[in-house]
Every structure is written in C-alpha cells, then in structure tokens.
C-alpha cells in the first residue's frame, strides 16, 4: 500500500489542480531517469497537465534545459501540451516557446519528436515552418509520430499523403535508437484522410498511447545497456 501512496497523491494533486504542487511535481519528473519509475512517466505529466497554467513555468524550464535527460524533457513536453489544453489562454506563448526550442535543431531526435507531437496536439499550424525545417534537417525521430507528410495530414495542411508510408527503414531506425525491441511490431503512425473531430480525437489518443509505449521501450533498452556495462 505504501508503494502506491505517491501515485495516489500525484493523481489527487492533479485532480485538485493544486497550483502549489506544480514545481515540486516538476522536480519529481527526475524519478523517470533516476528510479526507472514507470508510474512517474505516466502519472506525473498527467497531474501537471491537469494543474494547467501554474505548471507551465517550471515545465518550460525543464524543456529548455539542454542538460536535462531526454526522458525527463520528453515527459515535460507532454505535460506542457496537456496543461495548455486544460488552460488555453497561454496557447500562443507556448506554441512560440516549443517552436523556438525545436528551431535549435538539437541532436536529441526523440525530444524533437515530442516537440512536434505537442505542436500537433495544439493544432499549431502557425509553427509549420519550424516543424518542416526540423524534418528537413533530420533531427526528428520518425518512429514516434511519422514524417513531415504525416504531420501535415494531422494538421490539415494536406488532405492525404503524397508518397507511400515508409516501413523497413523506419523500423530499422526505431530498433537502432532503442525505441523498439527487435521482435516488436512497428506500426507507422496512422492519420486517416478527411477525419471528423471524433476520428481525430481517437487518432490523437492512439498516437499518444503509441508514443508512451515507444518511450517505455526506449527506457527498457537503456536499462539493459546500463546493466551490461556494470557487469
């Protein structure tokens, strides 16, 4: 029971939209990296998203920190997107911030993929040029969301794909990056043509589920590598 107490506490703080908990919860994101805590990767970003506006400032600090672990930054990005969807009055500011970080073209391709994913969640058509430039520079992990064409369809900039969906090379990239076990099945992120609102919401939910699964798989690979090094 004691092991579940923190999880229940995180969820309760989110449900209460406890502004004073925003900064402490943001600091707890480090549990993702230090404690290999699978619950932290799910529940802390969700709680921060539910808190909304008060969580934005501490989360932005984490996202902008190049020295923070990829998994922590990625979780913070997910939380920011959720927080803006809870309180959308700061949407323009956050879209600008996420696009600015993406414009750095940092080598952490997974972080950049989460930035793109957040911008898609926020329907940030105004940040299309930043997203396109990141894909053109090959700094976005494609196994999380897909390529630039997939993103354009998700944003409504294209009615449908112009080229066929890649497959074998995408899978090879996912395995090489540690985001997919060699025996796992990889599904190209699917965006249906001419989606209605309900279909888009369902597709977004499925995409986020796949993103969390990919992130967990990457962390599993990283833990295995650390164990081998210790031996």
> How many domains does the chain divide into?
1
Angle at 20 between CA 19 and CA 23, to 5 degrees: 95
First to last CA, the chain: 33
pTM: 0.77
What does the pLDDT look like over 54-82, one tens digit per residue?
A: 999 999 999 999 999 999 999 999 999 99
pLDDT band of 211, cuts 50, 70, 90? low
Which of the two residues, 148 and 213, has the higher pLDDT score? 148
Please say whether the beta carbons of 102 and 88 come within 8 A: no
Domain range for 23 is 2-230
CATH number at residue 172: 1.25.10
pLDDT of residue 170: 60
Residues in CB range of 14: below 8 A, 6 or more apart: 46, 47, 48, 49, 50, 51
b/e map of 37-65 (b: 16 or more CB within 10 Å)? Answer: beebbbbbbbbbbbbbbbbbebbbebbee
């Amino acid at each position: 029971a004691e092991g579940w107490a923190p999880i229940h506490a995180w969820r309760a703080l989110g449900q209460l939209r406890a502004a004073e908990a925003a900064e402490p919860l943001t600091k707890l994101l480090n549990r993702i990296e230090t404690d290999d805590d699978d619950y932290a990767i799910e529940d802390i970003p969700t709680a921060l998203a539910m808190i909304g506006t008060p969580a934005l400032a501490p989360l932005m600090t984490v996202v902008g920190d190049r020295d923070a672990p990829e998994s922590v930054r990625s979780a913070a990005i997910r939380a920011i997107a959720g927080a803006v969807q809870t309180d959308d009055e700061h949407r323009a500011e956050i879209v600008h911030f996420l696009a600015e970080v993406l414009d750095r073209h940092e080598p952490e391709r997974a972080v950049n993929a989460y930035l793109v994913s957040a911008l898609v969640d926020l329907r940030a058509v105004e940040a299309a040029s930043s997203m396109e430039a990141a894909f053109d520079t090959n700094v976005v992990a494609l196994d999380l969301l897909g390529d630039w064409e997939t993103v354009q369809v998700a944003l409504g900039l294209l009615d449908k794909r112009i080229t066929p969906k890649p497959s074998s090379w995408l899978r090879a990239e996912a395995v090489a990056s540690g985001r997919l076990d060699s025996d796992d099945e990889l599904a190209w992120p699917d965006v249906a043509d001419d989606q209605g609102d309900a279909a888009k919401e369902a597709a977004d939910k499925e995409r986020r589920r796949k993103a969390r699964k990919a992130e967990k798989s990457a962390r599993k690979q990283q833990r295995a590598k650390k164990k081998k090094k210790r031996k």
